[in-house]
Amino acid sequence: MYPPRRRTVTAVLTAALLLPLAACGDGGGDADGGESAAEAKPAHLTVLAASSLTDAFRTAGAAYEAAHPGTRVTFSFAGSQELAAQVRQGAPADALVTADTRTMDGLGSETGPPRVIAKNRLVIAAGKGNPFKIDDLKDLADPRIKVVLAAPEVPVGRYGRQILDAQKVELRPVSEEPNVRAVLSKVELGEADAGLVYRTDSVKSGDRIAAVDIPDAQNAVASYPAATLKQSRNAAAATAFVDWLSTPEAQKILQDAGFQQA
C-alpha cells in the first residue's frame, strides 16, 4: 500500500491524465464526435441553387443570417444541370437545391437525404402587351411566333416539352437556353415573342412581359428538393440551413415570391 503522501500525488496525476479523455468523450456532440444541427456553430455556407430561386433565396439568405449571427450564406445560381455538374466535379459547396427531383436523385451518392421545400408551375411569357394575343399553348404553334425554350436537359425545358407534347403542339424554338432566366431575358428584350418559364420568374418581370396562365390540367408541377452535400466542411451548419428551409419563416418567404407550399 502507498504511503499517504504518495497516494495523494498518484491521485492528482491520475486526475490530470483523465481530464483530456473526458473532454474527448461526452461533450454534447453527435455519435461521430461532431455537433448536431441544433448546435451548429457560425459558418460561411455556400449553397448551389436553381436559377428560378434567385430572388426568393436572396431574401431567405438575409433572413437566415439575421437569425443566425456570425453565419454567412453565399448562393451560386445556375441551371440544375449545371449545378449537378459542379457537384460531380467536386466544387466546394455545402448544400444543393434543384428545380426537379430527377437531377437531385441522380446525385444520391453525393448528398444527404433530400426534402422538397417548394413547388412551382409554368406560364407562357409573351412579349410586352402580348401583341400576338397568345391565349394558350396551342397558339405557340403559329409559325409567325418566335418561341424560345430552355434546353431539354434543363428542368424547365423538360417540363415545357412535356406539356407541349401532351397538347400535341409542334414548334421549333428559335433558341434553347441554359436556364429559365435566360429564356425570360430573350422575351423581355424582344429577341423572342414567347417562352415557357416558371410562374415565379414571370412575376419578377412586371409589365416587361405578359404572363399567360396555363390551366392546371395542362401544366406541370416543378418540385424543388434541398439536400446537404457530403463534401461539405460545415456539415452541421449545412444541415441546419436545409432544415430551416422547411420552417414557417422560410416557407412564407418562398410563398411571397410565388412558390407553392411543398
Class of domain 39-119+223-261: alpha beta
Taking 90 as the threshold, does the pLDDT of residue 18 lie above it? no
Q: pTM for the whole thing?
A: 0.83
Domain ranges of the chain: 39-119+223-261, 120-221
Contacts of 261 (CB under 8 A, 6+ apart): 118, 119, 251, 255
Q: Give the per-residue pLDDT at 120.
A: 98
User: What rounded mean pLDDT belongs to the chain?
Assistant: 88
CATH homologous superfamily for 120-221? Periplasmic binding protein-like II (3.40.190.10)
- Judged by DSSP in three states, 77 sits in strand
Q: How many CA atoms lie within 13 A of 46 on its CB side?
A: 12
CA pseudo-torsion sign 157, 161, 164, 166: negative
Express each pLDDT in 38-63 by its tens digit. 567 889 999 999 999 999 999 999 99
Express each pLDDT in 112-139 by its tens digit. 999 999 999 999 999 999 999 999 999 9
Interatomic CA distance for residues 195 and 232, integer angstroms: 37
Interatomic CA distance for residues 124 and 195, integer angstroms: 6
Element at 233 (helix H, strand E): none
Mean pLDDT of 165-181: 97
**Cell numbers standing for residue 154:** 434543363
Asked if domains 39-119+223-261 and 120-221 share a fold, the reply is yes
Give one DSSP letter per residue of 117-165, joined into a string: EEEEEEEEEEETT-TT---SGGGGG-TTS-EEEE-TTSHHHHHHHHHHH
